């Protein structure tokens, strides 16, 4: 009787697993279908010449190290990122996770800018501020390198310090990059820029703002606030001119 009960339970469990897998596969296939449809629309908006222009090679201006977070997308900072952004993404926008890829952007593609871009509400930073010992070893490894960049700058584990740690991590990543690429900076062939994409308005400059906080190791957050005001004024002028000319 006991054996029969075990067999029935096992079969039940197996059926649930098979059903769950089928459901997951169905969902995945519908996502793939959406991607194919998006690609069809994309192709309609592109001419063959645009592809021919990039076939021979790439010529980006920016090596970008940003977080893998899906709320951070390049269109927020570049209206045509194709052939302009050489993108490296990982959790916590870290140099150490992809040193070879960053070096490729700077040494081979010779981008004049290395941009390290953090973002508000970064889960990797939050993890580094808390107990992440239950995570799998690969995640622990990447979070631990973040923790190293944070622990010297302010207290860990305090949620109030989240955005401060995010900004501090960007400063730290710029500092690490300078150690590696100071010769290029000294020669004037590279500028290392640290910024935070703030979709949550945690830095109080507005929702979705691209806040430049560091240039070649110098904290420039306040300077760039002033520049942003100027850009906004310029936009206002352009809008005014456009509406006058109608
Ligand atoms: Zn993040």
- Write the pLDDT tens digit of every residue in 100-147: 999 999 999 999 999 999 999 999 999 998 889 999 999 999 999 998
pLDDT band at residue 71 under the 50/70/90 scheme: very high
Q: Please answer whether residues 97 and 145 qualify as being in contact, where contact means their C-beta atoms are separated by less than 8 angstroms.
A: yes
Q: What is the reported pLDDT for 242?
A: 45
Q: Please answer whether residues 222 and 213 qualify as being in contact, where contact means their C-beta atoms are separated by less than 8 angstroms.
A: no
Task: Tell me the CA–centroid distance for residue 42 and ligand 1, in Å.
Answer: 28
| pTM (two decimals) | 0.84
Task: Tell me the CA–centroid distance for residue 18 and ligand 1, in Å.
Answer: 34
CATH, domain 58-244, list 3.20.20.80, 3.30.450.40, 3.20.20.60, 3.40.1050.10: 3.40.1050.10
Of 12 and 121, the one with more pLDDT:
121
Task: Tell me the CA–centroid distance for residue 170 and ligand 1, in Å.
Answer: 11
Q: What is the reported pLDDT for 11?
A: 78
Rounded Cα–Cα distance for residues 183 and 79 (Å) = 31
Q: What is the mean pLDDT of the chain?
A: 89
Task: Tell me the CA–centroid distance for residue 1 and ligand 1, in Å.
Answer: 54
Q: What is the reported pLDDT for 156?
A: 57
Give ion ligand 1 contacts, CB < 5 A: 67, 69, 122, 124
Domain boundaries, the chain: 1-45, 58-244
Rounded Cα–Cα distance for residues 141 and 127 (Å) = 12
- Write the pLDDT tens digit of every residue in 193-231: 999 999 999 999 999 999 999 999 999 988 877 677 666
Task: Tell me the CA–centroid distance for residue 72 and ligand 1, in Å.
Answer: 8
Task: Tell me the CA–centroid distance for residue 166 and ligand 1, in Å.
Answer: 9
Q: What strand order describes the sheet that includes 209-215?
A: 85-90, 62-67, 113-119, 191-198, 209-215, 218-219
Task: Tell me the CA–centroid distance for residue 126 and ligand 1, in Å.
Answer: 9
- Phi and psi at residue 26, to the nearest 5°: -60, -45
Task: Tell me the CA–centroid distance for residue 25 and ligand 1, in Å.
Answer: 28
Task: Tell me the CA–centroid distance for residue 221 and ligand 1, in Å.
Answer: 20
Indicate the range of 68-72, 90-94, 98-102, 227-231 predicted with least confidence.
Answer: 227-231
Q: What is the reported pLDDT for 246?
A: 40
């Amino acid at each position: 009787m006991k054996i029969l009960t075990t067999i029935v339970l096992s079969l039940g469990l197996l059926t649930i697993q098979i059903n769950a897998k089928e459901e997951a596969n169905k969902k995945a296939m519908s996502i793939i279908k959406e991607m194919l449809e998006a690609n069809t629309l994309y192709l309609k908006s592109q001419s063959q010449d645009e592809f021919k222009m990039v076939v021979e090679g790439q010529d980006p201006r920016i090596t970008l190290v940003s977080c893998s977070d899906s709320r951070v997308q390049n269109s927020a900072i570049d209206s045509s990122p194709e052939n302009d952004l050489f993108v490296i993404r990982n959790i916590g926008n870290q140099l150490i996770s992809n040193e070879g890829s960053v070096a490729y952007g700077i040494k081979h593609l010779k981008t004049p800018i290395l941009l390290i871009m953090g973002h508000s509400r970064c889960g990797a930073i939050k993890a580094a501020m808390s107990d992440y010992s239950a995570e799998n070893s690969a995640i622990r490894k990447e979070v631990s390198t973040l923790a190293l960049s944070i622990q010297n700058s302010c207290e860990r584990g305090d949620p109030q310090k989240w955005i401060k740690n995010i900004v501090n991590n960007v400063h730290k990543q710029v500092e690490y990059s300078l150690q590696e690429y100071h010769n290029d900076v000294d020669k004037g062939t590279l500028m290392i820029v640290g910024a935070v994409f703030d979709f949550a308005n945690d830095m109080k400059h507005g929702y979705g703002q691209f806040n430049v906080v560091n240039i070649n190791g110098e904290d420039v957050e306040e300077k760039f606030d002033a520049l942003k005001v100027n850009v906004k004024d310029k936009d206002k002028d352009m809008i005014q001119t456009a509406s006058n000319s109608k």
